[in-house]
Amino acid sequence: MKIEIRKHAILYQFALILLVLLTLPWISLAIEDIPGTGAPREGQLDLETFGGGDTANASDVNHNFELLRAKINEILGALNPLPTNCTDGQVVQWDSSQSEFVCVTPNTDTLSCTQNDEVLVWNSNNSHFVCKQIASCSMGEALKWNGSDFSCVDIGNPDGYCASGDNDTELFIHPETNGSGGLLDSSLNNNPISAYGDNMHTNVVHKFGGTGLYFDGDGDYLTVANSQHFDFGNGDFTIEFWLQSDGQSGNSRGILKKGDDLGFQSYAIFINADNQVRFLAANPHNTGWQWDKTIGTASQTQMDHFAIVRSGNGFYTYKNGEQTNHWDNAGYSLVSSGSELTIGSQGPGTEFKGYLDEIRISSVARSPNGFPPTQPYCN
């Protein structure tokens, strides 16, 4: 009860002072001498207005105003006082448990974390900042604060696409990134891609995400602008993709090639009428194939992962993570070609019929431990 009375008394004093402040400007008009009214001379104030019977100079009035201001500050300080006894290095902080401001010393020793994967977190239990180790999350997971620690939670991958990438990826065609009906290169190179024939996006057969690519064997193919990134010479590289055949007929059909339609290419991947997927590379004189190697047989009922890897002098082929072929060719250099990269055709009349997804070309020997991928590549 005493606390409530004191609180109301303070509020009453504050309201009274505020009323006086609002009326003072009108009272001060009496400073000006008005002839015939008996008002004080200029520079004086009739203190009878304040209950006095004498007059005072303007300096006395200013002094009264200073006293009034001090009283206001005293009352305001009583309403919500700030501590005046803080020492060097302390800060003023509101203490909700005591309903007042207090002086606290921040823990400067932990304002900078020193370990990897640490973040600075405010611990309300002891009113200190602490360094917390954050978890290393996998793709499809997000970092979440559970009230006492960070943890990785599975948020899924609704569109099956990871947008980040690495500098070793030279081309990555992920059908979900369609660029308003067209196709985009999701690698950091952002190579221009042109599509010919019908709309190849399909949700009937695909490996990841919501769509794949369907080539109907009659004029459907893609071209990627010529780039030095696709001329590997004697360097390491990896070419990989998911494929399902829809039945081939006649001559070999083109899956991927680097070269023109007239002569031998730098390298090419074909599929024949028996659904055998093969890798070919031109000889140094570009007068014929240096080799023609089988990667594996494509299925017509499921998508399979195919990969060609060069590591040093060794060449390796894989189907669904299983090595299917290996040969060495010391000193061999893939013939350089100034032609564009073509996907889905070897030339007129040799268009591929079937499905493709997640087409990736890298300028590094990818580890077969990642074959076949169980989730979409980031890049």
Say what the pLDDT of residue 2 is.
38
C-beta separation of 259 from 358 below 8 A: no
pLDDT band at 336 (very low <50, low <70, confident <90, very high): confident
Say what the pLDDT of residue 102 is.
81
- Beta-bridged to residue 326, according to DSSP, are 316
Q: In whole angstroms, give the CA distance from residue 158 to residue 154.
A: 11
First to last CA, the chain: 71
Q: How many CB atoms lie within 10 A of CB 315?
A: 20
Assess whether pLDDT exceeds 60 at residue 32. Answer: no
Tokens (6 digits) for 321: 């993570």
Mean pLDDT lowest among 20-24, 144-148, 158-162, 363-367: 158-162
Say what the pLDDT of residue 135 is.
63
Between these two residues, 242 and 49, which has the higher pLDDT value? 242
Say what the pLDDT of residue 122 is.
63
The arithmetic mean of pLDDT across residues 338-342, rounded, is 92
Say what the pLDDT of residue 248 is.
82
Say what the pLDDT of residue 10 is.
52
The arithmetic mean of pLDDT across residues 87-97, rounded, is 73
Between these two residues, 80 and 347, which has the higher pLDDT value? 347
C-beta separation of 295 from 289 below 8 A: no
Tokens (6 digits) for 105: 């010393």
The arithmetic mean of pLDDT across residues 242-253, rounded, is 88
Assess whether pLDDT exceeds 50 at residue 235. Answer: yes
Average pLDDT in the chain: 76
Say what the pLDDT of residue 83 is.
73
248-276 tens-digit pLDDT: 877 889 999 998 766 667 999 999 999 99
Q: In whole angstroms, give the CA distance from residue 280 to residue 261.
A: 15
Between these two residues, 297 and 26, which has the higher pLDDT value? 297
Q: In whole angstroms, give the CA distance from residue 177 to residue 210.
A: 11
Say what the pLDDT of residue 338 is.
86
Say what the pLDDT of residue 22 is.
58
171-226 tens-digit pLDDT: 999 886 554 456 889 888 999 999 999 888 888 888 887 889 999 999 999 999 99
Kind of pairing, strands 304-311 and 237-245? antiparallel
Which percentage of the chain shows pLDDT scores above 90? 35
C-beta separation of 280 from 268 below 8 A: yes
Tokens (6 digits) for 75: 């009352």
Q: In whole angstroms, give the CA distance from residue 185 to residue 62.
A: 78
Q: What are phi and psi of 153, to 5 degrees?
A: -120, 145
Assess whether pLDDT exceeds 50 at residue 5. Answer: no
Kind of pairing, strands 314-319 and 169-173? unpaired
Kind of pairing, strands 169-173 and 150-154? unpaired
169-370 classified as CATH 3.10.180.10: no
Say what the pLDDT of residue 241 is.
96
Mean pLDDT lowest among 45-49, 113-117, 228-232, 246-250: 45-49
**Helix, strand or coil for residue 11?**
helix
Between these two residues, 251 and 18, which has the higher pLDDT value? 251
DSSP string of 111-171, one letter each residue: SS--STTEEEEEETTTTEEEEEEPP-PPTTEEEEE-SSSEEEEE---TT-------TTEEE
Say what the pLDDT of residue 4 is.
42
124-163 tens-digit pLDDT: 666 666 777 766 665 556 666 666 666 676 554 444 444 4
Q: What are phi and psi of 202, to 5 degrees?
A: -145, 145
Report how far apart, in Å, the C-alpha atoms of 257 and of each of 72, 92, 239, 281 are.
87, 70, 11, 10
C-beta separation of 132 from 119 below 8 A: yes
Tally of residues, the chain: 379
54-70 tens-digit pLDDT: 444 556 656 666 776 66
The arithmetic mean of pLDDT across residues 335-345, rounded, is 91
CA dihedral 159, 160, 161, 167 (to 10 degrees): 180
351-360 tens-digit pLDDT: 999 999 999 9
User: How is the chain split into domains, by residue range?
Assistant: 2-79, 91-154, 169-370
The arithmetic mean of pLDDT across residues 313-325, rounded, is 96
Q: In whole angstroms, give the CA distance from residue 232 to residue 324.
A: 22
The arithmetic mean of pLDDT across residues 94-105, rounded, is 76
Say what the pLDDT of residue 58 is.
56
Between these two residues, 288 and 20, which has the higher pLDDT value? 288
